[in-house]
Chain A
Amino acid sequence: MSTEGKTAEQPPRSAILRPGETIGSVTDQISSIVLTRGTPRGWYLALAFSFSLLMLLLLSVTVLFARGIGIWGVNQPVGWGFAIVNFVWWVGIGHAGTLISAILLLLRQEWRTSINRFAEAMTLFAVACAGLFPLLHVGRPWLIYYFFPFPATTGMWPQFRSPLMWDAVAVGTYATVSLMFWYVGLIPDLATLRDRAKHTITRAIYGTLAMGWRGSAIHWERYHQAYVLLAALATPLVISVHTIVSFDFAVSIIPGWHTTVFPPYFVAGAIYSGFAMVLTLSIPLRAIYGLQNLITAKHLDNMAKVMLLSGLIVAYGYLMEHFVAWYGGHDAELFMLLNRMFGPYRMSYWALIACNVAIPQLLWFRRVRANVPLLFVLSIIVNIGMWLERYVIVITSLHRDALPSSWGNYTATFWDWSTYLGTIGLFLTLLFLFVRVLPVISISEMRELVEEHADEPAAKSEGSQT
């Protein structure tokens, strides 16, 4: 991982902003990534890599649509496989963005400011990846519109008792609100870019997207009202989306799925994986673009702490799941538990415990949280662990359920992996495009932050420059 930034001076550990930053300096620094610095060669390489993965997705989906989902490893009795695992994983990753932007905004956590923009972008892209899977995994994707309530001569409506129906609504709502929240937050920055852009076409594009923002007091007043309202709207969604995703499992009667602990522990898991992903993305980002002054050690430390906390909640969830399976005295539940731990998929189970419970305990140590490369590695381990968690839940519960005569095994095929890697390609492609054309850190909010820290001598007031 590159640590060569052009900003040599590091802020003190406790600071969320390097002393001496001015409104002008943060605006220059952030907007320069988009407008003046040019495109680094590394970006091309990274985009090429991501784009080839995206093309792999295109190939996989083409083959999938041409031949049917038999190309995957799903079977009887394991009717859901990678598609659902990946769906839940991506939705979970999306959670950190909304949590950082909305809940921390309402809680007035200033440190969120420099990470909320790309966390929100990450949310959108993750939800885009997640949203693909329900479409891909159904047997007849061309009829996917049956999921939605629309007036038809058949008089048929979706079946509102099905958690999959709730899913469609919850994820749809979540994606819509996240998009609005992100876009509204972008408007002042788009205006800044419009004002700074040299090229006519660039200016026209940013100008269109800025929707006539002029920075008047009334604009700001309405902007803030809308932003806080959207934050308030998004906050319950953080809880609801993964709660409803967990209902896909909890509402069923399959041992290992039929568990009341699922909603809270899925939400905690989502936050866990979401923060892990923000760390995974922000650590290289701040190094490559030299943003250590804006995304400071304090940010990383805070995110690590949130990760530790949500990880502990997840661990508690596991503990309760195991305890209830034993305490409930139902032999099918107990069997499910033992089968997870000692059955054919035991390696996945123990890897999950290692990744999600054991290894993250290192985060208790301040020195580990301050060690940026180690933190990066830990965040990736948690991402893997959370993927394994969904894999274990989906596969091990299904592969040996009530009737031993129907037991079977699940093995992922090439097309399972290629579809999964392909969505990572989609995610990274969108992310690299985002980094190139939009400000990765909210300029306007950074300026507010500078303003609020204006007691320092180097700061000088420029006023809103729009």
Chain B
Amino acid sequence: MNGDLRKPEDAGTVPRGSRLRHELLEEFPFAESSLEDVESRRNFLKVMGASMALAGAAGCDSGQPAEKIVAHVRTPEQGGRGKPLQYATTAPLDGHGTGILVTSHNGRPTKIEGNPEHPASGGASDAILQSHTLSLYDPDRSQAVSTGGTIASWNSFRTDLRSQLAEQAGRKGAGLRILSGPVSSPTLIAQRERLLRKFPEAKWYEYSALDRSGVRAGCELLFGQPLEPVYHLARADVVLSLDADLFGTMPGNLRHSSGFAQRRRITDDDGHAAMSRLYAVESTWTTFGAAADHRRAVEPAAIHRIAAHIARRLGIQVSENEIGSLPAGIDGAFLDEVTNDLQGYRLTSQAAGGGALVVAGEFQAAEVHALVQAINHALGAVGTTVSYIPPVTGASGFGELRQLVGEMQDGAVDTLLILEKNPVQDAPAELGFRSALGSVRWRARHGLYQDETSAECNWHLPASHFLEEWSDARSIDGTASIVQPLIAPLYDGRSVHTLIDALVEEVPRREYEIVRDYWKKNLGDDGFEAAWQTALHDGVVADSAPEPVEVEPREGALASLTFPGDSQGLTLVIRPDPYLLDGRFANNAWLQELPRPFTSLTWGNALQLSPFEFDQVADRDGDLVEVQAGKNTVTLPAVRVPGLPHGVATVHLGYGRRRAGRVGTDVGVDITTLLPPESGGFVRGAQLTRSSGRHRLAVTQLHHQITSTPPGSFVENSIVHRNLVRGGSVAEWNEHPDDPQFMHVDHHTIDQSSHQKDLPSFYPVEEPADYEPHEWGMQIDLTQCIGCNACVVACQSENNIPTVGRDQVLVGREMHWIRVDTYFEGSAEHPRIAHQPVTCMHCEHAPCEPVCPVAATTHSDEGLNEMTYNRCVGTRYCSNNCPYKVRRFNFFEYNDELYSGDLPVLNLLPNPNVTVRSRGVMEKCTYCVQRISTARIDAQIHGDGVIPDGEMVTACQQSCPTKAIVFGNIADPESAVSSAKASPLDYVLLEELNTRPRTSYAARLTNPNPRLAEAEGHGRAHREH
């Protein structure tokens, strides 16, 4: 770190607290590091001199990268100063690129949206994508090259590197190893080839704790070649997930989510609804399982046998070996129904061309994947719901890492370069990477943070963030796209391309040239400039997706499968955290504070246990439990989660980091000691022991309290009767659309065309307010919502919402303006789950408005319920009186630490169109009023002043991968939101209070198999108990 230079006696530094420094930082907040680092400070002063000479001309844009980057929208004619621009770029994650559009205000990226033209995004984004802006401005990012704990320069590193390479060159690079994550970047792959040509004995290894190795190994087993399956859920009428996290950590999650949504809301000519049917058999909760019509929870190893049983039912030749009986939690009748539906259930002609699809969890073994792809082949799914392409990324899992560790232990490695990955932290402790690392003489680490691995290396090299660099990546379907920088590197970071270039080339090139040269070679000189511009503009390289590979199962490929028996003892399912993954995003406070689906846990991990298991070892959520697996023992707080299988515990990776930064260090418990190096993501034969003590869990919703309430108790009865989440099966709806379970209770009595619905009242009927031309409203479709939380982070990023930290979450002071409520329904063993996003309802009769003594919350002339921050004195009466509890209060100066003090880089993060709220002020969802204003101004300049439908999109709506959120002008009867609200499924929360919310919900439709539904207690009969 450059901490050593932060001493007053260092004459080269602009003194802290000095006036010059203050002024410099005000003008160039990102220059904090430059002021500290002597070498770059000189550069900085040079630049400063230049920009002061040009003051007023270029001062604001000094953060722009040097090369020409291409805006996604047309550049405004008169320069458009002050107007934000959008640029297309690509966010890589373990090699898989997702196209994004980044909003840039005067050269600083502030907000990320999905790129509609990119196949992996389709315009949507997820929580991790949304959080990249915070990672970019993370003040804990490493800022300088360092060696042996002191700051060095890139030049000194290059000198040292040259001498290493000179030595290696003589041995053809026999002692040179490079370790990286899975690579898909075509440029980097080309560079790697050149490197390996220069050093033929050198090796480049790839690994990732997000283990997908079974996927392509399974294809290799079945088809004879490693392939990457691409799933098309938009064409799937029946989906069976075998432990697959289709909407979560699986690459292509956004594509899967949007495909699911398209197939879930289809209306035929008679007005009847039709929708796909989803089955999930899984070992822990996934968002797909929560959305499924039927879900079974089983032990993870049992998936193997279940796949084989289904394959046999489809007449596939499976292994001579005895499969074994069906595991606990699943019966033959269920599999019969699933098989029948896979073969026979198809939607009506309105959605022709559908098929069935089976997907296995990526952590599952290769044999499971082989079985599943054989099933898909037998179902005729290939070409319809699944296609196969050559793998787009390098290897994942720990196979190659294990090889590297072996070589390191043998002393075969003397020069090791670790790119981006943090194996000291995220590799299974059993591999012994850390101790083996000691035997490598020269080790360098290139990464965003000075983390656990950097601490063990001779050199730490700061990497540039992907928003600061030129690169490229391929998406899940193979489409290539360019990564173009939104901002010049904030610190002294360099991209991996520059680094590898320095290893290979005599004359180093800039990364822009490296990437551009590759594509010039690839796209050809003819018309390259135009093609390059188009690729940058669109965010995709046209026609770069590979053709699907024709596949045919090999004869006897499945002949010699072996099946695991029943588990002895407890099975520990180890999954990457849904947001931190293997811990790489641990220093991102937005992700740390984002409630995990199903537990609503923030700031830490916990041992998730089914109620049955929980009661054996703990009394209250947070009680500490000792987990023993193999030789290792870890103590974790336990949490009760209904719907987990018996004999299985789930725990998430990514926590307990020792050098993550100010945010992520020592949050949660490190479980890499339990992590098995083999594929599978689970450990059998674990043991739980009750331990003493308790770790309070920072949960945002106390549903455990609710679900642990004895049935029939007053708490449970009350919740059941509130009808907060309405819905039923699609068959019930087609048959009885009048059933009050689905709809507004007053739909029968009051003119449906009018959105002014009043309950009977003693008061005279009000004249409806005149809201022409705009009156805003929102509808959230509970059928579509998968509870992924993308909207929460999108809102946080758009509206400058602070994070508050674990202590404040513990006392219930989280600040999210939109939250995703989760309700468990039914028994503790087979619960159904409903997710319900809750925003400010913008009630027409808003209970918050009349109680504010200072008129700080009022109604706008477009129907919004507005907060006037500078009028608010903070009585919190509005929040007390809000039945939806959507208001959030600044109990402390939550922004103080972020946007001032010694972290000036965070000044670049906020959206300049949204006020940063101070202490003592109430805040809440505004329906993105700043976006409404922008759209209104545009409409006034370019149109008739009326905002066209679809021009105004809220941040949550924009991010939503399933398009569950519809927003628009309800004064316009033709608008999308008006027609959504005209549906009989439309209902509002707590209607009996007559608050007349503008946010309404579409009741949740499911499509259970009628022959299974009765046994599971689906439908009205169950709810009316």
Contacts and interface: CB of A to CB of B under 8 A. Distances in A.
B719 A140 contact: no
Contacts of A139: 872-876, 889-891, 919-922
A218 interface: no
B714 interface: yes
Interface string A73-102: 111111110000000000000000000000
B403 interface: no
Contacts, number: 173
A138 B873 contact: yes
B920 A147 contact: no
Contacts of B822: 405
Contact of A75 (B811, B884, B993): B811
A339 B713 CA distance: 11
Interface in B821-880: 821-823, 836, 838, 847, 850-855, 871-877, 879-880
Interface residues of B, number: 59
Given A139-B873, A405-B819, A405-B822, A68 B883 contact: no
Most buried by B among A162, A401, A402, A405: A405
Most buried by B among A139, A144, A157: A139
Nearest to A342: B714
B853 A67 contact: no
Contacts of B814: 76
A248 B887 CA distance: 19
A80 B876 contact: yes
Given A67-B892, A162-B852, A253-B881, A332 B718 contact: yes
A147 B885 contact: no
A250 to B, nearest CB: 12
Contacts of B45: none
A403 B883 CA distance: 7
A156 B890 contact: no
A179 interface: no
Most buried by A among B724, B812, B893, B989: B812
Contact of A402 (B812, B876, B884, B922): B884
Contacts of A75: 811-813, 891
B891 A74 contact: yes
A69 interface: yes
Contacts of B893: 68
A403 B718 CA distance: 10
Contacts of A252: 847, 851, 877, 880-881
A5 interface: no
Contacts of A110: none
Interface in A25-76: 67-70, 73-76
Contact of B873 (A140, A398, A408, A411): A140
A156 B853 CA distance: 12
Contacts of B714: 335, 338-339, 342
B867 to A, nearest CB: 13
A99 B340 CA distance: 81
B674 to A, nearest CB: 32
B439 interface: no
Contacts of B888: 76
B880 A159 contact: no
B850 A161 contact: yes
A70 B892 contact: yes
A320 interface: no
Contacts of A79: 876-877, 879-880, 889
A165 interface: yes
Interface stretch (B251-259, B700-708, B729-737): B700-708
Given A70-B892, A405-B822, A147 B873 contact: yes
Contacts of B724: 403-404
A41 B721 CA distance: 65
Given A158-B853, A252-B847, A137 B875 contact: yes
A271 to B, nearest CB: 26
Contacts of B919: 68, 139-140
Contacts of B918: 140
Given A79-B880, A138-B875, A406 B885 contact: yes
A411 B993 CA distance: 29
Contacts of A163: 851
Contacts of A253: 847, 881, 883, 993
A164 interface: yes
Contacts of A159: 850, 852-855
Contacts of B836: 405
B854 A146 contact: yes
Contacts of B190: none
A403 B880 contact: no
A76 B889 contact: yes
A458 interface: no
Interface string A235-260: 00000000000001001111000000
B990 interface: yes
A407 B715 CA distance: 12
Contact of B989 (A164, A343, A403): A403
Contacts of A4: none
Interface in B688-728: 701-703, 705-706, 714-715, 717-719, 721-722, 724
A195 interface: no
A402 B892 contact: no
Contacts of B850: 159, 161-162, 251
Interface in A152-186: 156-159, 161-165, 168
A331 interface: yes
A157 B854 CA distance: 7
Given A77-B879, A401-B883, A143 B821 contact: no
B891 A80 contact: no
A337 B701 CA distance: 22
A67 B814 CA distance: 18
Given A67-B892, A139-B876, A402 B883 contact: yes
Contacts of A77: 812, 879-880, 885
Nearest to B870: A143
A92 B596 CA distance: 46
Interface in A381-405: 398, 401-405
Contacts of B719: 404
Given A140-B920, A164-B877, A403 B884 contact: yes
A116 B873 CA distance: 38
Contacts of A69: 874, 891, 920
A404 B854 CA distance: 30
A164 B851 CA distance: 7
B987 to A, nearest CB: 15
B853 A162 contact: yes
Contacts of B702: 407-408
B880 A407 contact: no
A144 B722 CA distance: 38
Contacts of A146: 853-854, 871, 873
A405 B707 CA distance: 12
Nearest first, the 5 closest Cβ-Cβ pairs linking A and B are A139-B874, A139-B920, A70-B891, A79-B876, A405-B821
Interface of A: 67-70, 73-80, 137-141, 143-144, 146-147, 156-159, 161-165, 168, 248, 251-254, 331-332, 334-335, 338-339, 342-343, 398, 401-409, 411
26 contacts: A68-B891, A68-B892, A70-B808, A76-B885, A77-B880, A79-B876, A137-B875, A139-B890, A140-B921, A147-B853, A156-B854, A156-B871, A158-B855, A159-B854, A162-B851, A162-B853, A162-B877, A168-B853, A251-B850, A254-B880, A254-B881, A338-B718, A339-B714, A401-B883, A401-B885, A411-B811
Given A146-B873, A165-B853, A404-B724, 15 more contacts: A76-B879, A79-B879, A139-B919, A146-B854, A157-B855, A162-B851, A164-B851, A253-B881, A254-B883, A331-B718, A331-B722, A343-B715, A402-B722, A405-B701, A409-B812
Interface of B: 701-703, 705-706, 714-715, 717-719, 721-722, 724, 808, 811-814, 819, 821-823, 836, 838, 847, 850-855, 871-877, 879-881, 883-885, 887-893, 918-922, 989-990, 993
